[in-house]
Amino acid sequence: MEISEIRITLRDDNKLKGFASITLENAFVVRGLKIIEGASGLFIAMPSRKRKDGTFQDIAHPINMATREWMENQVIAAYRREMQRVENGEIPPPSRFGSYDDDDRGVMEGSY
């Protein structure tokens, strides 16, 4: 399996650092991954929906830890590249507002 594209939309929030969408094999898109700053660093939260009982259920997720780590490493690397672009003045700083797919500013093409 190959991630053929990663799109990052940065956010200016204490914990929520951005959203990601990934395209697998140029054939399947997963939107709504969240890039979160946790107690031990950045991690990826999978897209989820709220159940009637108030708990959340992942809509899409890796089945094993190796795939989760592989995906997380690639998304976090893409996030860091976007933050570098902000620091270099190539793109404007992130906003607190908007949805995960409100712009195409963070398109990252190619194999990861």
Which pLDDT tens digit goes with each residue over 3-14?
999 999 999 899
Domain segments of the chain as ranges: 3-92
78-107 pLDDT, tens digit per residue, is 999 999 999 999 999 887 765 555 444 454
Task: Quote the pTM value.
Answer: 0.82
Tell me: the pLDDT tens digits for 47-59?
999 999 999 999 9
**C-alpha distance from residue 24 to each of 28, 42, 74 (Å):** 5, 22, 12
Q: Does domain 3-92 have CATH number 3.90.1150.10?
A: no
Q: Residue 110: is its pLDDT beyond 80?
A: no
Q: What is the pLDDT of residue 69?
A: 96
CB 45 within 8 A of CB 36: yes
State which amino acid sits at residue 20.
A
Nearest-5° angle of CA 103, CA 32, CA 5?
Answer: 65
Distance CA 50, CA 29 (A): 21
* % of the chain exceeding 90 in pLDDT: 80
**What is the pLDDT of the chain when averaged over all its residues?**
88
CA angle 26, 61, 73 (to 5 degrees): 70
